[in-house]
Amino acid sequence: MSVIAWTEDFATGIGLVDRQHRRLVELINRLGESLVAGGRTEDRAVAYAYGRLRDHAVAHFSDEERLMSNAGVDRRHREVHRHAHAQLVDLIDSLWRSRTSLPNPAQGIVDVLSPWFVQHTLGVDRSMALQIRLMRQGESAERAYELASSTEDSESKATLGALRRLFQTFSRRNLALEQGMRERTEELELANQALLDAQHRLSRQDGILEEQIRERTQSLERANRALTAANQHLKDVARTDGLLGIANRASFDEHFRGEWLRARREALPLSLLMIDVDHFKRFNDTYGHPAGDLCLKKIAAAVAALAHRAGDFVARYGGEELTVVLPNTDIEGARTFGEQVCRQIRSIEIAHGASDAATCVTVSVGVSCGLPGYTSVSVAELLNQADQALYRAKSEGRNCVRCFRENVSGIPDRKPAARSRPAVRSLATTGRLLEGKGFALSNRMASRSETGRCEVGGP
């Protein structure tokens, strides 16, 4: 006797669950067949069928609850699901305890187990499968539960109720047919049509949910792009000096290290300049810190205007000190660049009455150069050598350039030629560059002769 006829309408799309559901239907039908064939509830075949049905139900429910837990299904649904599982076990135990008092135990199975299976599979189990599918598409457990619950409108609930009643009627008619009472076959067609209608409604609701998920995904992608752009902006801000608008110390450390590695890999020279504003503390004490900030901005803009070659890198090292990284530039090219810097800063003609070096703001420049591909000079050593050269420039009167001469013995005679520095920019060209950055440059040249303190010292 077939108490329940399995169809693909009961499928959830989860392989383990569907296989165990098929087995559950098979065991329910075998129990019905044992009751009809044996006629006595004390037969060993009937007891064996009851035992197998209960054992499989308990094992299946344990697997299903473990699946929900591992998938992270919402706690509210898991509680409803566990309650439904416990309900079926209680029904099976109740049928077994009252088997001797039932006038027709087989009919009891039809009346109790078949409607439970239909309602549970098409309702709770389908909801579980939908939630797991939504979570795999990126929804949270709470959101998946709410979306699945929203599909259970009054029409769906009425459909499930009708299906339960229709399937119960079908099961009773099927039992009557098995016992020789073949009548009213139209119930089968009605039940099948109801199942098709339910499937159509569920498919339509799935389409609506998928569209909502697609819109939600697109919204999240837009938000992620905006967040990425904001993070990049924050990264750029973190690498830029807020006052001068050039790279800061952290950015310099990273860039200088990268250029040193490239110079070592390609066997090219690498030069470093350290620039210090002469008597800048006196300037601040005399003219005030706002004037000092403006002075530093003009100096940074002038140095950046000179460092126009690809790879040249200007950064604020700290306080009134700037650094310039010159890739593929030898010591002479770096010294020439340092002399350009000194002349351009003097040409801006920022008055400095408290300076011992000149009547205008001047800078001192220390230069170091290394060949990482041929010598063992390190990043720290190049930096220290530029600092020593700067100290020498300041101790020898300031407003000059001094170079640290590296011992280059053992370097091959045929090393790659360093690119020469370009010619010195004209004052008019530099003026246009500075004005483009918001600074005004005096149109008059220094009236005094560039001798004494205003001349750039030798290497």
In this predicted structure, what is the pLDDT of residue 316?
Answer: 95
Q: Dump the DSSP string for 172-209.
A: HHHHHHHTT----THHHHHHHHHHHHHHHHHHHHHHHH
Residue 367 pLDDT exceeds 90? yes
pLDDT tier for residue 431 given thresholds of 50, 70 and 90: very low
Q: What is the DSSP-derived secondary structure letter of residue 3?
A: S
Q: Give CA–CA dist 277/386, Å, rounded.
A: 15
- Structure confidence by residue, pLDDT tens digits, 55-79: 988 898 899 899 999 999 999 998 9
What is the pLDDT at residue 152? 61
When the candidates are 3.30.70.270, 3.30.70.20, 1.10.3190.10, 2.60.120.620, the CATH number that belongs to 249-454 is: 3.30.70.270
- C-alpha–C-alpha distance, residues 156 and 161, integer Å: 9
**CA–CA gap between residue 216 and residue 144 (Å, rounded):** 13
Whether 53 contacts 60, CB under 8 Å: no
Q: What is the pLDDT of residue 116?
A: 78
pLDDT value for 352: 95
Q: Which of 368, 396, 404 is nearest to 457 (CA)?
A: 396
Q: Is the pLDDT score of 441 beyond 80?
A: no
At 269 the pLDDT is: 95
pLDDT at site 183: 46
Model pLDDT for residues 83-98, shown as the tens digit of each residue: 888 887 887 787 777 7
Chain centroid to Cα 421, Å, comes to: 44
More confident site: 311 or 105: 311
Listed in sequence order, the residues at least 6 apart from 30 whose beta carbon sits closer than 8 Å to its beta carbon are 49, 52, 53
pLDDT band at 271 (very low <50, low <70, confident <90, very high): very high
Q: Is 393 left (phi over 0), alpha (psi -120 to 50) or beta?
A: alpha
Question: What does the chain come to in residues?
Answer: 459
d(CA 28, CA 21): 11
**Most confident by average pLDDT, 31-45, 107-121, 156-170:** 107-121
Mean local confidence (pLDDT), 139-155: 78
Identify the DSSP state of 418. P
CA distances from 110 to 5, 29, 161, 178, 392 (A): 12, 10, 16, 13, 103
Higher pLDDT, 103 or 49: 49
Least confident of 4-8, 148-152, 455-459: 455-459
Longest dimension (CA), the chain: 128
Express each pLDDT in 233-246 by its tens digit.
777 777 899 899 99
Q: Are the C-beta atoms of 456 and 401 separated by less than 8 Å?
A: yes
The DSSP H or E segment spanning 55 is helix 44-71
* Phi, psi values for residue 24, rounded to 5°: -65, -45
Distance CA 267, CA 405 (A): 19
pLDDT of residue 169: 55
Q: How confident is the model at residue 284 (pLDDT cuts 50, 70, 90)?
A: very high
- Partners of 315 in the β-ladder: 247, 323
Instruction: Give kind and range of the element (H or E) at residue 109.
Output: helix 105-119
What's the rounded mean pLDDT across residues 346-369? 95
Highest mean pLDDT among 48-62, 155-169, 333-347, 373-387: 333-347
pLDDT of residue 427: 38
Residue type, position 79, single letter: E
Amino acid 53: pLDDT = 83
Indicate the average pLDDT of the chain.
Answer: 79
pLDDT for the residue 85: 86
429 falls in which pLDDT band (50, 70, 90)? very low
Q: How far apart are the first and last CA of the chain?
A: 108
pLDDT at res. 172: 53
pLDDT of residue 148: 85
Residues of the chain with CATH 1.20.120.50: 8-225
Is 379's pLDDT higher than 50? yes
| Residue 363 backbone zone (phi > 0: left; psi -120 to 50: alpha; other: beta) | beta
Q: How many CB atoms lie within 10 A of CB 347?
A: 17
Q: What is the pLDDT of residue 258?
A: 95
Q: How far is CA 136 from CA 72, 73, 214, 304, in A?
A: 11, 11, 13, 53
Q: Within 13 Å of residue 131, how many CA atoms lie on the same side as its CB?
A: 30
State the pTM of this model: 0.45
Residue-level pLDDT at 159: 53
Q: Average of pLDDT values for 107-128?
A: 78
Chain-centroid distance of CA 376 in Å reads 40
Least confident interval from 169-178, 252-261, 377-386: 169-178
Please state, in angstroms and as integers, the Cα–Cα distance from residue 335 to each residue in 202, 209, 402, 459, following that order. 79, 70, 8, 7
Share of the chain above pLDDT 90, in %: 39
Type of residue at 424: V
Q: Which residues are catalytic?
A: 320
- The CA distance from 345 to 263, in Å, is 30
User: What residues does CATH 3.30.70.270 cover in the chain?
Assistant: 249-454
Q: Which residue has the higher pLDDT, 157 or 271?
A: 271
Measure the CA–CA gap between 365 and 401, rounded to whole angstroms. Answer: 5
Contact, 285 vs 277, CB < 8 A?
no
- The pLDDT score that the predictor gives to residue 412 is 38
| Amino acid found at 426 | S
β-strand 363-370 against 270-277: which pairing, if any? antiparallel
Is domain 8-225 in CATH 1.10.240.10, yes or no? no
